[in-house]
Homo-oligomer: A and B are copies of this chain.
């Protein structure tokens, strides 16, 4: 599991005083940094170095989130395929599971413009963060 703690900013609340649905997507993206760094330790954006692309994202909004207190984003690997893998995220505030979601990331060669198989060493590093069946919410 990867964990990041988010301190909401004033503008993250929408007109009803709740965290806007799109802000959650930003927080999950921050939560993916640990996954990105498996592939690219210093977040090098050169097309010859960066090699992940998003194919799908989904979000379930379970409970309202507020500006205070801080929010914890928990991130696991849910499934590892040949050229892609699925990431699972949860957002927790004050002991409440407020949102969850998935992202499908494709291992992609930005120079050749095609997906490529996940190398074995990366598969092993991803597997260290697999979601245990018992932890699923």
A residues adjacent to B (C-beta < 8 A): 4, 7-11, 13-17, 20-23, 25-26, 29-30, 32-33, 36, 42-43, 45, 47, 50, 53-61, 66-69, 110
A10 touches B23 (CB 8 A): no
- This chain: how many copies in the complex? 4
Closest to A46 in B: B17
| Residue of A7, A13, A14, A56 with most partner-chain B CB within 10 A | A14
A21 touches B68 (CB 8 A): no
Given A15-B67, A47-B16, residue A29 in contact with residue B10 (CB < 8 A): yes
B26 touches A9 (CB 8 A): yes
CA distance A23 to B22 in the complex (A): 9
